[in-house]
Amino acid sequence: MLSTPEFWVLVSFVIFIGILVYLGVPGQITAALDARAERIANELAEAQKLREEAQALLADYQRKSKEAEREAEAIVRQAKAEAEAYAAETRRKLAESVERRSRLAEDKIAQAEAQAVKEVQSAASELAVAAASQLIAAQTKGTVADRLIDDSIEAVKDRLN
């Protein structure tokens, strides 16, 4: 048995393990593994904390996004209402303007008609005076006729004007 190589491999392995135990290598390995396990646990805790913060931020941003959408919808509704009110006011003002211009045009037409009637009446009266003076002049002669013609012309002018 002392002559077999397996025996000496076993002896040297046992001596190697003994030296390792004597030097405290398993404690160091255990301490290193414990430190690494603690570091991993801390990283996991930090990752969990960061995940919770990210979820809180996501929820906050989603809430703010919904609020912004509601505000945007309210602004759009208000803008539409204002645009409709402005359009209604513009239509009302346009209708008033058209009505006012129509009245002005009708007034101008009425004035033009009145002026035309006056001019026609004036022309007719002048023509009537001229015709009457010619008729009276043709039918009457002498100084009495002249006086009568002048008086008649003046009377007709006074009545027509």
* Tens of pLDDT, residues 30-66: 888 999 999 999 999 999 999 999 999 999 999 999 9
Percent of residues, the chain, with pLDDT higher than 70: 93
Residues 6+ apart with CB under 8 A from 156: 125, 128, 129, 132
Question: For residues 121 and 104, what is the distance between their CA atoms, to the nearest angstrom?
Answer: 25
Supply the pTM of this predicted model. 0.42
* Tens of pLDDT, residues 88-139: 999 999 999 999 999 999 999 999 999 998 888 888 878 887 777 777 667 7
Three-class SS state of 24 = coil
85 vs 152, higher pLDDT = 85
Question: For residues 121 and 160, what is the distance between their CA atoms, to the nearest angstrom?
Answer: 8
Average pLDDT, whole number, for the chain?
87
> Among residues 136, 133, 126, which one has the least CA distance to residue 157?
126
Backbone phi, psi, residue 141, to 5°: -130, 155
Position 126: which residue type? Answer: E
Largest CA distance in the chain: 193
pLDDT on residue 92:
95
> Among residues 119, 120, 130, which one has the least CA distance to residue 156?
130
Strands (E) located in 5-134: none
